[in-house]
Amino acid sequence: MAALSNRERNLFVATVILGAVYLSYQFVVVPMRRRQEAAEDQIVAQRQLLNEKRRVIARGMAKTTNYEYYQNLFRQEGRNEQVMSGILKEIEEVARNFDVRIASLQPQRVNENKFYNEFSVSLNITTNFVNSINFLYHLQKQPYMFTVDEFYYDKKARRSQEISIRLILSKVLIP
């Protein structure tokens, strides 16, 4: 190769430098940018997935809290005889609060299932209509949570305000 002039040498060096810059840009910078963009996209996707999983966990924790609340609400404390005695006391207490006279209060046999026990009570009451509605309403809401299985009523006398009611109340508890 013949000796290059100074100008040609400068052009050759400039061309080699530009070629090296272009090649390093194409084979180093561009792949690094692609990897960086792919990593950023992956980070965004992972953050979205993480946020979604956090929401699922939060909903699960809320449901667990609700489950524990209801589990405590319906948990059976003590033996069946003790629970039945407490149920009778609760009914008598609510009856006193609403001026309801209990003619008879008879516990029935406990229906024991695999996962729960159902306690039933048969009772005959005498009261006026409004007090009977309030009595039943309070027995069905918290903390008592009774259900009315049977309900029969009879008006005592034509001019009397009192009615006679025969009920079967039940309560489900988890042993």
Gap between the Cα atoms of 91 and 101, Å rounded: 11
| Residue pLDDT tens, the chain, 175 long | 568 788 888 898 999 999 999 998 899 899 999 999 999 999 999 999 999 999 999 888 888 877 788 777 788 888 888 989 999 999 999 999 988 999 999 998 988 888 888 999 999 998 888 888 999 999 998 888 899 999 888 876 666 788 889 999 999 888 8
Residues 19, 1, single domain; the answer is yes
Same-domain status, 55 and 84: no
* Ramachandran category for residue 145: left, alpha or beta (phi over 0 → left; psi -120 to 50 → alpha): left
Q: Are residues 61 and 100 in the same domain?
A: no
Pair 166, 89 in one domain = yes
Provide the domain count of the chain: 2
* 114, two tokens: 């695999």
Q: Which residues contact 100 (CB under 8 A, 6 or more apart)?
A: 94, 125, 126, 127, 131, 132, 135
Domain shared by 56 and 113, yes or no = no
| Statement: the pTM of the whole predicted model exceeds 0.95 | no
Angle, CA of 27, 33 and 35, to the nearest 5°: 95
Residue 120 sits in which domain range? 80-173
* 134 and 114 housed in the same domain: yes
In whole angstroms, what is the distance from residue 98 CA to residue 136 CA? 10
Give the CATH number, domain containing residue 94.
3.30.70.60
